[in-house]
Structure 1
């Protein structure tokens, strides 16, 4: 083993990873970063499909320094990653899933970026193979991305380059109690407590592979685990960011990405017992972390669903979900002197939910039509709108409203 610390330790936690593991390891070996500047720490988490044997075979013939650890199944990805992290010697670590693979220049580009910018986390562009992948954060390469104004907050998977000194200094480890969302918790902490985040967007660094055998870890687990994940991430954000606009910006991620999918149209097909249990699990999260500032950063149907949960109104929530499942398009109406725009979802104007819950506060698409938040409205425009509404009301009643006489 070399006495010189490598630039990167590639940590691979592998469970039942064949045959995907073959391309994964080939992509490490094909890196333009020289073999002497990296090492592999691979942890076989109790596989029975030949994963452990293949790791040992590869280690015996590769020019890259490689350690293979074989252990009993730990029940999730956190354990193997923590084992790998404990053995890592590199200046940086990269957590590579055994299903996925690198672009050839990935490590060289990301290490160069981290060294140039002095940042503790480097994001390399990710694309999906046989599955979707987030896209909004890859618009441009930036040496220092702002967590609160950029979309990096919406990519919290562990497949990133982390400066090992940060992880050691903070004693960071993956939470082995969490069975899903453990990577989001780890990555968000690094974002919040590290010395900046860089983005490499002009080269595809990582290929995220969708397995066709149904064994991908993110597809497993009960809904209770999703609530555990949301609770942990919300608590982390609240610990490190005081109440206010910045916290509201970050809270969008756990509320919309982690919590809300549990209250999508699929809820209509679930038993009343499951529905009630989900409401019970979500209620304290809304009570603790919901804020008006967060509410205004959401789309109308997102805000309405969360407000129904906060109020304990499963009946109203089901009405809104039925509307969404039926692919009905909400009508847009303007009200008030300021000309605010509202989307007419179920129970609009009935008083059971506040009118503000229906207000358009962020850009949305309704069907194929984009709807932007309207600008301020003048008093004259308000009056014209009132007159127009009055004329339409009169016409619908079959009456005639005389026009104002023109001066001669």
Structure 2
């Protein structure tokens, strides 16, 4: 074993990873970062498909210093990652899934960014292969991204470059009690407690592969695991960010990405028992963290669903879900002198537990292919002009006359 400290330790947790593991390891060998500046710690988590044997064969022939650990199956990705992290010697650690692979310049570019910016986490652009991947955070390369105003909070997977000193100093480990969302908890803690986050967006660093056999870990597990994940992430955010706009901004992520999918149109096909259980699990989370500021950071249909859950109104929630399932497009209605814009979903204007404010457009939305913007000052003026034009048409129809000055209001 070399005495010099490598720039990067690539930690690969592998379970039943063949044949995807072949390309994964080839992509590490193909890095433009020299072999002597990196190491691999690969953990075979009880595979039965030859994964362990292939890792040992690779370690015997590669120029990259490679350590292979073979262990009984741990039941999830956290155990192998923690083992790899415990053995890592690099200045940085990258958690590479055995299904996925690097772009050739990935590590060289990310290490250079981390060194130049002095940040503790570096995000490299991710694209999906045979699956979708988040896109909104890859618009530009930035040395220091703001967690609250940027979209980096919506990419919390573990496939990032972490400064190992941060992980050691904070004693960070993946939560092995969580069976899903453990990477979101780990990454968010690094965002919150580390010295900044960088984004490499001008080069594809990571290829996220959808397995043909459908065995990708994020596709498995019961709905109870999703609530465990949401609960843990919301608690972490609340621990490190005091109540106020910043906390509200971060809470959007667990609510919209982790919790709300459990209350999508698929709920219509589920049993009353499951529906009620989901409502019971979500209620205390909303009681603890729901605020008016958080509500205004959501799209109308998101806000309405969460408000139904918070108020315990499964009946109203199901009406909204039927509307969504039938792919109906809500009408747009303007009200008031300020021209506030509302989307007409079920129970609009009925004065139930869903107040008029719950239907107001407060963030940019898409209705079908049409972009719906939040009305601004210019939109309000345009709204007033439309009111005047409408009044003039009505007056003309009635044989009355309005002065031209009114048209310039």
TM-score, normalised with respect to structure 1: 0.95
- Which residue pairs with 1:388 in the alignment? 390
Structure 1 position 324 matched with structure 2 position 324 = yes
Instruction: Give the structure 1 partner of residue 407 of structure 2.
Output: none
> How far apart, in 1, do the equivalents of 2:342 and 2:239 lie?
34
Structure 1: how far apart are the matches of 2:298 and 2:48? Answer: 45
> Is the counterpart of residue 348 in structure 1 residue 345 in structure 2?
no
**For residues 325 and 391 of structure 2, what CA distance do their matches in structure 1 show?**
32
User: How much has 1:375 moved relative to structure 2?
Assistant: 1.7
Aligned position for 2:27: 27
**Aligned position for 2:401:** 404
Paired position in structure 1 for 2:260: 260
Question: In the alignment, what sits opposite 1:276?
Answer: 276
Q: CA deviation at 1:380?
A: 10
Shift of the 35–349 alpha-carbon distance from structure 1 to 2, 3 Å rule, reads: same
Q: How does 1:129-140 map to 2 (within 5 A)?
A: 129-140=129-140
Match of 2:370 in 1: 369
Give the deviation of 1:402 after TM superposition. 3.7
1:228 shift after superposition: 0.4
- CA RMSD, 1 decimal: 1.9
Does the C-alpha gap of structure 1 residues 347 and 386 become closer, same or farther in structure 2, counting only changes over 3 Å? farther
SS in 1 for 2:351: coil
Deviations 1:19-52 (Å, cap 9, x if unpaired)? 0000000110111111111100000000000000
SS at 1:199 equivalent: strand
Q: Tell me the SS of whatever aligns to 1:131.
A: coil
Aligned to 1:213: 213
SS of 2:79 mapped into structure 1: helix
| Counterpart contact for 1:337–1:379, Cα < 8 Å | no
1:102-141 equivalence runs, <5 A: 102-141=102-141
Partner Cα distance (1:379, 1:80) in 2: 59
Deviates more, 1:334-343 or 1:116-125: 334-343
Distance in 2, Cα, partners of 1:308 & 1:218: 27
Q: Which SS does the other structure have where 1:174 is aligned?
A: coil
Secondary structure in structure 2 of the residue aligned to 1:98 = coil
- For residue 382 of structure 1, report the CA deviation from its aligned partner: 4.8
Matches of 2:385 and 2:197 in 1, distance apart?
50
What's the CA shift for 1:371? Answer: 1.2
Cα 1:380/1:267, change in 2 over 3 Å: closer
Verify: 1:82 aligned to 2:82, yes or no.
yes
Q: Is the 8 A contact 2:237 2:250 kept in 1?
A: yes
Shift of 1:259: 0.4
Partners in 2 of 1:81 and 1:381 — Cα distance? Answer: 56
Distance 1:278 1:378, change over 3 A: closer
Post-superposition CA distance 1:358-382 (Å, at most 9, x none): 0000111112211111124769965
Alpha-carbon distance change, 244 to 58 in structure 1, aligned in 2, over 3 angstroms: same
Given that residues 248 and 291 in structure 2 are in contact (C-alpha distance below 8 angstroms), is that contact kept between their aligned partners in structure 1? yes
Residues 141-180 of structure 1 mapped to structure 2, 5 A cutoff: 141-180=141-180
Alpha-carbon distance in structure 1 between the residues aligned to 2:125 and 2:60:
31
Q: Tell me by how many angstroms 1:404 deviates.
A: 2.5
Cα distance in 2 for partners of 1:101, 1:323 equals 41
Question: Which residue of the partner structure matches residue 66 of structure 2?
Answer: 66
- Matches of 1:327 and 1:124 in 2, distance apart? 36
Structure 1 moving runs of 4+ over 6 Å: 377-380, 389-392
- 5+ unaligned residues in a row in structure 2: which ranges? 405-409
SS at match of 2:12: strand
